[in-house]
Structure 1
Amino acid sequence: MTNQRIDVLDVLRGVAIMGTLGTNIWIFTDPGGPAGVLDALAQPGAVETFLRFLTNGKFLALLTLLFGVGLELQYRSARRRGAPWPGWYLWRAALLFAEGLIHYFLIFEFDVLMGYAVTSMIVACLIGRSDRVVRAWIIGVGVVFAVVIGLLTAALSAGRDTAAGPASGEDTLFSAGSYAEQVAARAELFVLYRLEAVFIVPLGIVLFLLGSRLMRAGVFERSERGAALRRKIMIVGLGAGVPLNLLTSYAGEDWFLVDRYLLPPLVALGLLGLVATLAHRVSGAPGPVRRGLTAVGRTALSCYVFQNLVGAALCYGWGLGLAARLDGLRPWWVPVAWAGVCLLFMTLASLWLRRFDRGPLELLWQWAYQAPQRSRRGPERAPLR
């Protein structure tokens, strides 16, 4: 890979990480915390619905596609070195699962790293198969996933009249509860909060494999072939996906699953093509925005975890408690909070990379990944004289 293509991937990762915060920020700024998400499914208002539409599911799907690209790069690296595959990659996936588990309990209920770890273990066994086999998996899992989403959506619509009304009383765990109480709640409601993995894993299989194959097809190349492929996915994703996704965003809570998991991957493809195209067209020294996005992309794991920690510290009762204090300014203050956190991490990531080549969690993660390999090789012996 050329340096230019690596830069494009870093920019895309930065966009995806900042975009996932654009979804999560609505959870942090809700006085009810994650519990308020379910109540928010009932149309929160035209302005807030549109603001949620801009990020909901799209950047999660973009991040998932980029995980597939990363898996493809790991596969290529192992093949170049003649290393067995999946081999030590499964240890990487196990570390990612552990990282996600810690992130879930200590910081954020809707962690995606655990789901990505499980998905990567499955896809690692498929990525080296023939294009015919991979295509069959993409189509097969994708069709089953779409059918299940359709059936669940129909069930939600049919059961609307018999569904129980919203629970009475206000949940103050996140607006007034202590940090320890929130950790205890995550442990108690582990199964409930991890239900999203039921959707993330099959969707991840499709998008991981699709990201791998897009990489092989040359979507990131600065060439006519790459440009043509980017134009195609922009037409599909932005031309068809955006209008349909906007429609489902205003269609009501019954369409939540379609709005969150089915249409956003189409939009994510368009975003991938658009951002890559714009990144290739920029010439000369990168500006501050691109430098910031690139820095976030190079420290993606650290930024993902720590931006959620900052969001919790700003909004929850054990921190500054802004969710309850500024609830009267909702939804207007929410995008301002998102922009402020993004600016903070673009700055911090840029400063960190002046001294280190990886983010803090990436450095720790790399050490944990290499430690058992060094132990297995044993101590190096001094050369004989």
Structure 2
Amino acid sequence: MASTTAVRAPDRVAALDVLRGVAILGTLGTNVWLFADPGGPAALFTQGLAAADPVQRTMQAIANGKFLALLTLLFGVGIELQYRSAVRRGNPWPGRYPVRAAILFVEGLVHYVLVFEFDVLMGYAIASLLVAYLVGRSDRAVRAWVGVVGGLYAVIVAGLTGLLLAAPDGPAARTASDAALTASWPDQVAARLEDIALFRIELVLIVPSSVVLFLVGSRLVRAGAFGDTGAGARIRRRLMAAGLGIGIPLNALTATLGQDWFLVDRYLAPPLVALGLLALVTTLVLRARGPAGPLRRGVTAVGRTALSCYVLQNVLASALCYGWGLGLAERFATAGPWWVVGLWAGISAALLVAAPLWLRRFDRGPLELLMHNLYAPREHTPR
């Protein structure tokens, strides 16, 4: 049964859109290396995880897992805000939220089949369905769920890491034939359908981690972590001390331990860093004075259209890198890592320009509009 604690109408939290924008562009910083491989994301299973170039290793370590964890925390913030909106209006909760989760799952499935092997939307949809029934429970109940699910999740990661450490050396280096994996879009779609169990095995990690981070994000809202208050500032200082002071050195250590520690490096250490990033960005936004400049307006717009930008950046990367598109991955296979950085910067710049232009005419991104029309077809939200 949902808590009956009174919930007042909150002011819009400006930092949330900026945080979402940072998280979306940051996830591209991780995924772009998969697209830039001549074999595409599928080559991950044939060439392994390690990069020979030290610059590439460093850049991958900077982005790996942290922005995904930040995005996951923010999704939990969104569930909490939707819960508060329902309570404020006197509507039952979770009400029709399972419909929303089902729509997100279908969008994620389509995204997986047509675009990207490592979609996170399906996992978010599954986790959100459980969290929707937990978000209104008492803090004691939520802490118990976080402890149990988080403990199970840590055991899974530790167990899988143990298996990796005990296994023989990883797969051999990529061969030139890997480029054939991205030569045909229909063949890629067929491969995703045929190997869905392999590509979707990550859900075993995404779902429990998302349950935990969704609930943490919800409780950060309740604790006032985003508020421009003394209590909010104290919470953010503690989060920055833990996330940046402890999390970054810890994650730097896990990044140097080799690919057998990849799961720890991607799934256990980064959430702590993400909490520090969340606090840091929120503090910077709250301290900002004067009108937002072009960069902040662009990042904010990307955050307001986060779902659409997440899918669009993967579509753009596919069209630019794969053999059925411009084939940049194979063309620049021996050019070193800096062209990949340029690819990330170019796609990010396109989103930073396109998102504000779209929002001049519409109040939501295209996929957000689709979800809204399917989820609440009788509601009209004025501009």
Q: Distance in 1 between matches of 2:254 and 2:232?
A: 31
| One of 33, 56, 60 as aligned partner of 2:40 | 33
Map of 1:51 onto structure 2: 59
| Mapping for residues 118-157 of structure 1, pairs under 5 Å | 118-157=126-165
Question: Given the alignment, which residue of 181, 186, 203 partners 1:180?
Answer: 186
- Structure 2 residue corresponding to 1:320, chosen from 313, 316, 326: 326
SS of the aligned residue for 1:125 comes to: helix
Alignment partner for residue 262 of structure 1, among 251, 256, 268?
A: 268
Q: State the Cα distance separating 1:16 from its structure 2 match.
A: 0.5
Corresponding residue for residue 335 of structure 1: 341
Q: Look up the match of 1:251.
A: 257
CA deviation vs aligned residue, 1:311-362 (integer Å, no higher than 9, x gap):
0000001110000001111211111110111010010001111111111111
Counterpart AA for 1:170: S
Displacement, 1:164? 6.4
The answer as to whether partners of 2:17 and 2:303 remain within 8 angstroms in 1 is yes
Shift of 1:73: 0.6
Q: Aligned ranges for residues 76-91 of structure 1 at < 5 Å?
A: 76-91=84-99
Aligned match of 1:60:
68
| Gap regions ≥5 residues in structure 2 | 1-8
Instruction: Please tell me whether residue 209 in structure 1 is matched to residue 215 in structure 2.
Output: yes
Deviations 1:20-54 (A, max 9, x none): 11111001101011122242413433211110011
What's the Cα RMSD here? Answer: 1.6
Match of 1:9 in 2: 16
Measure the CA separation in 1 of the matches of 2:321 and 2:171.
30
Selected match of 1:92 from 80, 100, 107: 100
Does the CA-based 8 Å contact 1:173-1:182 persist in structure 2?
no
Contact 1:41 1:252 in 2 (8 A): no
Q: 2:205 aligns to what?
A: 199
What's 2:29 paired with? 22
2:78 to 59, 70, 87: 70
CA contact (8 A) 1:153 1:258 kept: yes
Q: CA contact under 8 A between 2:224 and 2:231: conserved in structure 1? A: yes
Aligned to 2:117: 109
Q: What CA distance in whole angstroms lies between the structure 2 residues aligned with 1:204 and 1:361?
A: 21
Confirm or deny that 1:352 pairs with 2:354. no
Taking every aligned residue pair, what percent have the same amino acid on both sides? 59
Which is further off, 211-220 or 5-14?
A: 5-14
Q: Deviations over 1:241-262 (max 9, x none)?
A: 1111111112111101001100
Q: Secondary structure at the match of 1:284?
A: coil
Inter-partner Cα distance in structure 2 for 1:289 and 1:229: 27
Partner amino acid, structure 1, of 2:241: I
Aligned-residue offset at 1:165: 5.0
Cα distance in 2 for partners of 1:258, 1:44 equals 20
Aligned residue identity for 2:111: H
What is the letter of the counterpart of residue 9 of structure 1? L
Which of the residues 140, 157, 170 maps onto 2:177?
170
Q: Which secondary structure state, in structure 1, belongs to the residue aligned with residue 202 of structure 2?
A: helix
Q: How far, CA to CA, are the matches of 2:44 and 2:253 in structure 1?
A: 20
SS at match of 1:328: coil
What is the rounded CA distance, in whole Å, between the counterparts of 2:126 and 2:69 in structure 1? 16
1:171 Cα deviation after fit: 1.7
Within 2, Cα distance between the matches of 1:271 and 1:89?
Answer: 29
Q: Deviations over 1:265-299 (max 9, x none)?
A: 01100110111011111110001111000000011
Could you say what secondary structure the match of 1:84 adopts? coil
Query: How far, CA to CA, are the matches of 1:153 and 1:11 in structure 2?
Result: 34
Is the Cα contact below 8 Å between 2:24 and 2:303 reproduced in 1? Answer: yes
Kept after mapping to 1: 8 A contact 2:301/2:355: yes
Q: Find the aligned partners of 2:271 and 2:233 in 1 and give their Cα distance.
A: 20
After superposition, what is the alpha-carbon deviation per residue over 1:72-106, rounded to whole angstroms, capped at 9, x for unaligned? 01111111111111111110001000110111111
CA distance in 2, matches of 1:168, 1:21: 25
Amino acid at match of 2:17: D
Question: Residues 126-163 of structure 1, C-alpha deviation per residue, up to 9 Å, x if partnerless?
Answer: 111100000011112112211221122122112235x6
- The amino acid that maps onto 1:361 is L
Distance 1:160 1:255 in 2: 14
Deviations 1:155-185 (A, max 9, x none): 2112235x6656866322344x211111111
Structure 1's 164 and 107: CA in aligned 2 closer, same or farther, altered over 3 A?
A: closer
* The one of 217, 223, 227 aligned to 2:229: 223
Q: Distance in 1 between matches of 2:35 and 2:208?
A: 27
Contact 2:26 2:63 (C-alpha < 8 Å) held by counterparts: yes
- Asked if structure 2 preserves the Cα contact closer than 8 Å seen for 1:43 and 1:250, the reply is no
Please report the TM-score for the alignment, with normalisation by the length of structure 1. 0.93
SS in 2 for 1:172: helix
Q: Is contact 1:173-1:181 (8 Å) kept?
A: no
3-state SS of 2:227 partner: coil
Instruction: Return the letter of the residue paired with 1:173.
Output: A
Aligned-partner Cα distance in 1 for 2:80–2:39: 40
Distance 2:171 2:186 in 1: 31
